[in-house]
Amino acid sequence: MAMGGCERVVSTLFQQGVLVKMYNLRTGASIYLLLVLCSVSLVYADITDGSNEHLKREHSLMKPYQGVGTGSSSQWDFWGSTLVTSQYIRLTPDDRSKQGSIWNTVPCFLKDWEMHVQFKVHGSGKKNLHGDGIAIWYTREKLHPGPIFGNQDHFVGLAVFVDTFRNDLHGMDRSFPYISAMINNGTLSYDHSKDGRVTELGGCSAEIRNKDHDTYLAIRYSKGRLTVMVDVDDKNEWKECIDIGGVRLPTGYYFGASSATGDLSDNHDIISMKMYQLMVEHTPEEDNLDWTKIEPSVSLLKSPKDNIDDPTGNFRSTPLTGWKVFLLLLCALLGIVVCAVVGAVVFQKRQERNKRFY
């Protein structure tokens, strides 16, 4: 997943909010700082490049999947239709009404992490006649089968859905497969009939099905920011799908993947799940918190582009808001001028008419 170069680092830094602090600085100083950060942060970029240095094996699932599901020492457990081979883990075969899942049995206590999922969805179903998709989980409970892509509804934690079947025929403004994210504290229900639109934090369409190559999904959680990226074109580059701030997720939850088929089906294969620790500094106050007690939440349920409450979103939305205010003022000013001109003309016409009458 080659993403090297300064540009990538800058984008990473932006996402990490490192540049926020620099926003108020004078331009010259900002550029200088940016260059310095660029040069010292290449290590950081390497993490998302798939460097093994920060790979956490206890949370990763890789070929040939030795020891998966066997014995009490196993770090991954599976359920349902899941089939473990030496080349892939098939959550469901291309058959109707199957459900399968695979779960990391080791809770994750990393505060900042990035999960790379290599997967393949393929089947004999023609256009729109396949389903239902895969969900990637970071949740309080594991191995709780249910109706949400093979996992329980009212889950507690994070879900990223790769929804391959359009249930909501009113939602024609987006194409499927559609990738979306949802955070739940247990109170929300995922609505299949709306393809989860009511509860989603953001999403994107991605042609992930029946590709000759494997497809990739990256989920990053760091400093309250959730970012989902996809690599589905075999070009070895990430495309941003979701980027939202104001997200709170605890430590101590479990990673998992699940899938389900209904009347329509697909092979849903996980090739690998690789967990990378992100080296991010936290304030002593943050470090002293008990991160396991955090309740999953999102402070904004708007489009990520409109994040204004979030500190890391500020630097992008502030100039926008400024422009909006400026445009509004300009419109108001123009309105006043037009009114004044029209008023003056009307007044003049009346005066002339009055003159003619008297």
Which of 133/246 has CB closer to Ca ion?
Answer: 133
Among residues 149, 165, 216, 253, the one that binds Ca ion under rule CB under 5 A:
165
Q: Tokens at residue 14, please?
A: 């932006």
Q: What is the CB-side half-sphere exposure of residue 201 using CA atoms within 13 A? A: 27
CA distance 349 to 346: 5
Q: What is the smallest separation between the CB atom of 131 and Ca ion, expressed in angstroms?
A: 7
Alpha-carbon dihedral sign for residues 196, 256, 216, 100: negative
Q: What is the smallest separation between the CB atom of 8 and Ca ion, expressed in angstroms?
A: 32
Exposure b/e, 108-140, CB count within 10 A at least 16 = b: bebbbbbbbbbbbbbbebeeeebbbbbbbbbbb
Which of 80/203 has CB closer to Ca ion?
Answer: 203
Which of 13/135 has CB closer to Ca ion?
Answer: 135
Which of 167/314 has CB closer to Ca ion?
Answer: 167
DSSP string of 344-357?
HHHHHHHHHHHHHH
CB 116 within 8 A of CB 280: no
Please choose, out of 157-165, 243-251, 254-262, 272-280, the segment that lies near Ca ion by the rule CB under 5 A: 157-165
Q: What is the smallest separation between the CB atom of 193 and Ca ion, expressed in angstroms?
A: 9
Q: Is 258 helix (H, G, I), strand (E, B) or coil?
A: strand
Please choose, out of 58-66, 110-118, 164-172, 250-258, the segment that lies near Ca ion by the rule CB under 5 A: 164-172
Which distant-in-sequence residues (6+ apart) come within 8 Å of 48 by Cβ? 1, 3, 8, 12, 114, 218, 220, 238, 276
Which of 16/258 has CB closer to Ca ion?
Answer: 258
Which of 105/167 has CB closer to Ca ion?
Answer: 167
End-to-end CA distance of the chain: 87
Which of 161/255 has CB closer to Ca ion?
Answer: 161
Q: What is the smallest separation between the CB atom of 163 and Ca ion, expressed in angstroms?
A: 4
Q: What is the smallest separation between the CB atom of 33 and Ca ion, expressed in angstroms?
A: 45
Which of 193/318 has CB closer to Ca ion?
Answer: 193
Site size for Ca ion, by CB under 5 A?
A: 4
Which of 37/264 has CB closer to Ca ion?
Answer: 264
Please choose, out of 16-24, 143-151, 162-170, 289-297, the segment that lies near Ca ion by the rule CB under 5 A: 162-170
Among residues 94, 114, 163, 266, the one that binds Ca ion under rule CB under 5 A:
163
Which distant-in-sequence residues (6+ apart) come within 8 Å of 299 by Cβ? 245, 246, 247, 248, 309, 310
At 163, which helix (H) or strand (E)?
A: strand 156-163
Subset of 278-337 contacting Ca ion (CB under 5 A): none
Site string for Ca ion, 188-217 (x = CB under 5 A): -------x----------------------
Please choose, out of 21-29, 91-99, 159-167, 300-308, the segment that lies near Ca ion by the rule CB under 5 A: 159-167
Q: Does 105 help bind Ca ion (rule: CB under 5 A)? A: no
Among residues 74, 75, 167, 199, the one that binds Ca ion under rule CB under 5 A:
167
Strands across the sheet with 267-277, in order? Answer: 83-84, 89-92, 267-277, 113-122, 215-222, 225-231, 239-244
Q: What is the smallest separation between the CB atom of 148 and Ca ion, expressed in angstroms?
A: 11
Which distant-in-sequence residues (6+ apart) come within 8 Å of 309 by Cβ? 246, 299, 300
Beta 247-248 vs 297-298: how paired, if at all?
antiparallel
User: If we measure between CA atoms, which residue out of 201, 290, 245 comes closest to residue 15?
Assistant: 245
Residues in contact with Ca ion by CB under 5 A are 163, 165, 167, 195
